[in-house]
Structure 1
C-alpha cells in the first residue's frame, strides 16, 4: 500500500497538472460531469492528501456526490487512473497544510495563511488505482 501511494504521489507531482472529475445532478435529473486541473498531492500517514478551497464548485460537488476520478498522463509512462469517494474531513498535518498553502499561492490563489478556513484538504476513501499504457495494458495498484 505504501509503495503504491508513493508511486501515485510521485506520478501526480511529476506532471504540471492532472485532472479530477466530479459529477453533479443537473436540472431535470441529468448527470453533468465536471473536469478540472489539479496539481497538489502529498502523502500523509499512507493516504494521499489533495487540496482545494471550500469556496469552489468542486468542493460543493464532492460534498453532494463524493464519487470522483482522477487521471494524469506522463509522456513515456502512460497514464494513471484513480477513483474513490472524496472524504472532506480535513485531517491535513501542519506540514501538509503549509505545503498546500505554498503550492496554491504559487498558482496565484489568495489565502491568509495555511490555516485559512477556506483552504481545505481531502483524501479518498476506498481508493482504486491503475497504471495504464497506450498498448491497452493496465496494472492495478494495491491501495
Structure 2
C-alpha cells in the first residue's frame, strides 16, 4: 500500500476527520477547524471535496496552508499538512462519489456537476502516523 493509499484508507475508516485552515481577521490570522469526511485517491492524488460557498474554501483561497488530523482508536492518529491546491481536477467518478457522499451527509446539491461542488488536493504534503507513545512515523507520499 502506498503512502497516499494509507492516508485515504485512514481518513475513510473514521466517521470524520478535521481540517484546519487559516482565517484572516482584523486581529490577525486565526486557525479555523471543521469536520470533513470525504477523501478519494485519483491519479495518484488525494482528492478532497467541499463547496465554493463555504468559509473553508474562501480561507484556502486567501491562505492555502492547511493541516488535517484524524484519530483512529487503536491505531493512533494521522497528521497531513501542506498547501491546498484549489484547481478542481476531479474525474467524473470522483465527482460522483463526492456528490453522493455530501448528499448522504444531508447537503443539497443539484447533481455531481453542481458548480458549487468542488474538489481540491494538497501540494507539498507531509504526513505522519502518530501514537500516544510520542512517536511520529513519517508516511512517504
Q: Does 1:96 align with 2:82?
A: no
Aligned counterpart, 1:3? 2
Correspondence 1:1-143 to 2 at 5 A: 3-28=2-27, 30-143=28-141
The 1-side partners of 2:136 and 2:128 are apart by 6
Size of the alignment, in residue pairs?
141
Listed as ranges, the gaps of 5+ residues in structure 2 are: none
Q: Deviations over 1:15-62 (max 9, x none)?
A: 00000000122113x211100000000000111000000000000000
Listed as ranges, the gaps of 5+ residues in structure 1 are: none
The more displaced of 48-57 and 19-28 is: 19-28
User: How big is the shift at 1:138?
Assistant: 1.3
User: Cα RMSD over matched residues?
Assistant: 0.8
Q: Deviations over 1:64-109 (max 9, x none)?
A: 0000000000000000000010000000000000000000000000
State the TM-score, normalized to the length of structure 2.
Answer: 0.98
Moved over 4 A (4+): none
The 1-side partners of 2:24 and 2:109 are apart by 30
